[in-house]
Amino acid sequence: ARYIEHKMDRGSFVSRAEAESTTLKEALERYQREVTVKKKGKAQEQYRIKALLESSLSVRTLAGVRGSEVAAYRDAELARDLAPSTVMKSLALLSHLFETARKEWGIEVDNPVKKISKPKIDNARDRRLSPEEWAYLQAALDEPGDAVKVADGDRRNEWTPVITRWAIETAMRQGEILALDWKHVDLTKRTAHLPSTKNGTSRTVPLSTAAVALISDAGKVARLRKGKVFSTTASALKQSFTRAVARGRRLYLADCQKANREPANSFLVDLTFHDLRHEATTRLAERLQLHELMRVTGHKDTRMLARYYHPRAEDLAQKLG
């Protein structure tokens, strides 16, 4: 008590009472209300906050969260076979919460995330769609068949087929596709303007004939012509696309069984919606110069673009002659 009084007399005493009475759960909920709602990626961050709220860390006070406990959370998440980049995003969120509490909310607390080592991230992927995989995926998107309807509950999202093809034609990110507004689409000039993108700049994407046709065809998409071009959510699209990939593989396995041939273990396995951007970028690279490709995809430097450009060795061999 005398030590604390001495620090108070010198003006160097800092109260940790609020940090010791505020739980991580309460801080996460406040962060979600005041910080997350202002972010472009708020939908994805809300999922990460939900996961943290369900963790054992949430019942601890801000002052009581130790680096060793955060490290245990990191290891547990990695043990669930989550990608290091996914775990790193959760840790970054947690770190920013502690920094916000200290700098913006006036809560005197240390940042335990700074005391632990971070997962090593290797985001490089070279997942390409083979022509046969693309054919089966499209078949699953358009007409899954009666057997698949029973197994799947026929919970298809009517927007998923057109969005999937749009992604292949434009190389746009999922968030850019779902945010696209009709007022920024010019079918005459064949362009789609993106006023706000992931890297903080705007860009205008040229549309292929196939892309224009996707949103010009008669039907619900073309009739609206106001508001969002694709009226669905990231969560609904993710679930629907995942089910479509699974349907496509089931169709493939059924055909292999009928033809009495051995199926490929990797066929339509480990395919995400973001892989469509990889596929689209590589296809566009066959028709566009590097500087033109960067304008389409929105990459600011060639190193980032190289992460998405994955030509097949056999295709390069054909070019060599």
Q: Could you list the active site residues? A: 173, 198, 274, 277, 299, 308
Report whether 196 contacts 173 (CB < 8 A): no
Sign of CA dihedral 293, 297, 299, 302: negative
Closest CA to 187 of 163, 167, 212: 212
How many whole angstroms separate alpha carbon 78 and alpha carbon 191? 42
Burial of 15 (0-12, 13-18, 19+ CB in 10 A): exposed
How many whole angstroms separate alpha carbon 216 and alpha carbon 209? 10
Burial of 317 (0-12, 13-18, 19+ CB in 10 A): exposed
How many whole angstroms separate alpha carbon 198 and alpha carbon 239? 22
Tokens 């490089």 belong to residue: 124
Tokens 């607390």 belong to residue: 109
* Structural tokens at position 110: 């240390």
Report whether 249 contacts 269 (CB < 8 A): yes
Tokens 């596929």 belong to residue: 279
How many whole angstroms from its chain centre is CA 179? 14
